[in-house]
């Protein structure tokens, strides 16, 4: 018996990319895949003072993307600078207290409008993935989901969604680094034998994209190790916005789901859908 369908919706700049997946006995099957582009910023359209016409267009785009029978769970993905994500080691202390303390030490919890999401990655090592996201965005997406007739939704950090896709695709053996490139920042994840080793994000505000990428890679020393295979994902251009990364192989996100070739547009770059597919299979 198959489970209800789930959708990952990756909000990046002036578009969203989506993947609808249903889990079954033989694995995850891709039901729908695509993108919807606008002449406005997709996240900005959800803010309280946004143009009502823009929000209506975004809602229409979601309805069309999800089909007549929407999935029972939506997972909206956000990246830097909308979301900031980092790893936190609790060392046996209270998870919530350590996560909030670390966020304050990093200067990320000064804004009362932010909400904290904690994902437990490794209970034995006390490793948590901490993400700060705007509370108002979560509330706005709740209203959007209500209009779509969907009651279950999550706001998911891109680092977690893409990391899950890459970890699934590379298996339990070896070591891998994933670099996510976006106009507003970068994400870096790394795994060894299927275990999280690195998870960090950084924004490009006030810095060049090359500087931000270098900082993010240096935040995880292992990312420079030759024993790690490297993949890239995201909407940033590796030759123009992030020079030097064009040599890194794009991640084949379609390799982690079953799908009918007729349902995927010819010329589709699977790496662009890494976070959307990763969110759908979480």
Q: Give tens-digit pLDDT for 95-151.
A: 777 777 777 766 666 566 778 888 888 877 778 888 888 888 989 999 999 988 888
The torsion angles phi and psi of 148, rounded to 5 degrees, stand at -85, -10
Residue in 7, 138, 152 with CA at minimum distance from that of residue 65: 7
Assign 25 a pLDDT band (cuts: 50, 70, 90): confident
pTM: 0.89
Question: Residues 244-251: contacts with CB within 8 Å, 24+ apart?
Answer: 244/210, 245/179, 245/181, 245/213, 248/179, 251/165, 251/166, 251/169, 251/178
Instruction: Check residue 222 and give its pLDDT.
Output: 46
The two tokens of residue 65 are: 């993307």
Cα–Cα distance measured from residue 77 to residue 18, given in angstroms and rounded to the nearest whole number: 10
Q: Which of the two residues, 25 and 209, has the higher pLDDT score?
A: 25
Lowest-confidence segment of 99-103, 198-202, 251-255, 274-278 by average pLDDT: 99-103
Q: How far apart are CA 81 and CA 78, in angstroms?
A: 9
Backbone phi and psi for residue 197, each to the nearest 5 degrees, phi listed first: -120, -35
């Amino acid at each position: 018996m198959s489970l209800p369908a789930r959708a990952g919706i990756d909000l990046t700049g002036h578009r969203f990319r989506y993947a609808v997946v249903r889990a079954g006995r033989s694995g995850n099957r891709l039901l729908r895949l695509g993108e919807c582009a606008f002449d406005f910023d997709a996240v900005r359209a959800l803010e309280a003072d946004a143009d009502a016409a823009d929000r209506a267009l975004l809602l229409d785009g979601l309805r069309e993307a999800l089909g007549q029978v929407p999935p029972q769970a939506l997972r909206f993905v956000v990246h830097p600078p909308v979301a900031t994500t980092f790893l936190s080691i609790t060392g046996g202390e209270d998870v919530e207290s350590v996560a909030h303390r670390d966020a304050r030490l990093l200067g990320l919890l000064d804004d009362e409008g932010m909400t904290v999401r904690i994902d437990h990655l490794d209970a034995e090592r006390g490793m948590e993935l901490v993400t700060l996201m705007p509370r108002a965005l979560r509330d706005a997406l709740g209203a959007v989901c209500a209009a779509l007739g969907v009651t279950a939704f999550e706001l998911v950090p891109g680092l977690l969604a893409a990391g899950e896709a890459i970890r699934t695709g590379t298996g339990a053996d070896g070591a891998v680094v994933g670099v996510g490139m976006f106009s507003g920042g970068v994400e870096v994840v790394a795994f060894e034998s299927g275990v999280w080793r690195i998870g960090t994000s950084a924004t490009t505000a006030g810095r060049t994209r090359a500087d931000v990428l270098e900082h993010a890679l240096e935040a995880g020393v292992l990312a420079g190790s030759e024993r790690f295979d490297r993949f890239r994902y995201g909407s940033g251009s590796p030759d123009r916005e992030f020079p030097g990364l064009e040599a890194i192989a794009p991640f084949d996100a379609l390799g982690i789901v079953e799908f009918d070739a007729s349902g995927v547009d010819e010329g589709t770059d699977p790496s662009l859908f890494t976070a959307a597919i990763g969110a759908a299979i979480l």
